[in-house]
Structure 1
Amino acid sequence: MSIFSGSFQAEIQRCIVHQIRSSLKFVSWKDRKAVAKDLKTIYTAKTEEDAQLALTEFNDIWGSKYPHILQSWLNNWNELATFFKYPKSIQTLIYTTNSIESLNANIKRKTNSKGSFPTIDSAFKMLYMSTQEVQAKWERTSMRNWSEIYPQLCIFFSEIMEKYTK
């Protein structure tokens, strides 16, 4: 069964950092800095329309030399442009998947060091302990501009915020 079937309502935002890395993967070293600079105009645009214009300008400059870059951005555009719906404060939260990757790395580190688990319950306990450890780390570090971000989250995701912040 697909996660996209049924009443799935989450918005998907692809990691911009991974998209950039993927874009630069086959770019020659002499062009890399210039291509990265031109890609930056796309994901730092103020609106989705400005980003699409920047993508067109990018294509005018680099499209003939690196057509795979434009094709990749166009193929993934709906999931790359989700964050343009939100104010800058929320955009900085969702344009990368670093926090998810951090959690996954922590879980992988814990499970790899263990080798095997005697029971399914012991595996779940290890997963639980790993997530608690990461959550404690996140609680120790304050989020920059949280006083600006929190009200915006309450506006855009009122039902969810109400449910989990009572």
Structure 2
Amino acid sequence: PSEQAALDRFAEFSEKWEKRYPAIIRLWTNAWAEFVPFLQFDNAIRQVIYTTNAIESVNARIRRAVKARGHFPTEAAALKCVYLAIMSLDPTGTARQRWSNRWK
């Protein structure tokens, strides 16, 4: 919720994992200045940012699948391609609630 809380949690994380993953700790330490402005947003705005990133990720997967096939003989064929691309994101169906922060 705040920069101080994030620093406290990062210190806990560092204590636990620094010996095993020192490169990750260095990465976060070096990138801390870019991360801190994100903490100035309200929680509701942060959730929108998370959701936007998830939606853009899904859109990129759909674009990649459609572009790889080039051209479609019918609209139904294009829709099937989009459907299969979306289903391939979570083939087991276990993470459906996590998708796009339950975007409606």
Compute the TM-score of the two structures, normalised by the length of structure 1: 0.38
The answer to whether the 8 Å contact 1:83/1:95 transfers is no
- Aligned residue for 2:42? 87
How many residues align? The count is 73
Aligned-pair identity (%): 23
Stretches of structure 2 that go unaligned for 5 or more consecutive residues are 72-81, 83-102
Alpha-carbon distance between aligned partners in 1 of 2:66 and 2:8, rounded to the nearest angstrom: 45
Is 1:60 matched with 2:15? yes
Tell me: higher relative CO, structure 1 or 2? Use CA pairs within 8 A at least 6 residues apart: 2
Deviations 1:36-92 (A, max 9, x none): xxxxxxxxxx11121012112221222122212211212222333332111111111
Instruction: Provide the alpha-carbon RMSD of the alignment.
Output: 2.3
Counterpart-to-counterpart distance in 2, 1:68 and 1:53 = 19
Moved over 4 A (4+): none
1:114 maps to what in 2?
70
How far residue 95 of structure 1 moved from its aligned partner, in angstroms, is 3.7
Unaligned runs of 5+ in 1: 1-45, 116-129, 131-140, 143-166
Secondary structure at 2:27's aligned position in 1? helix
TM-score (norm. length: structure 2): 0.57
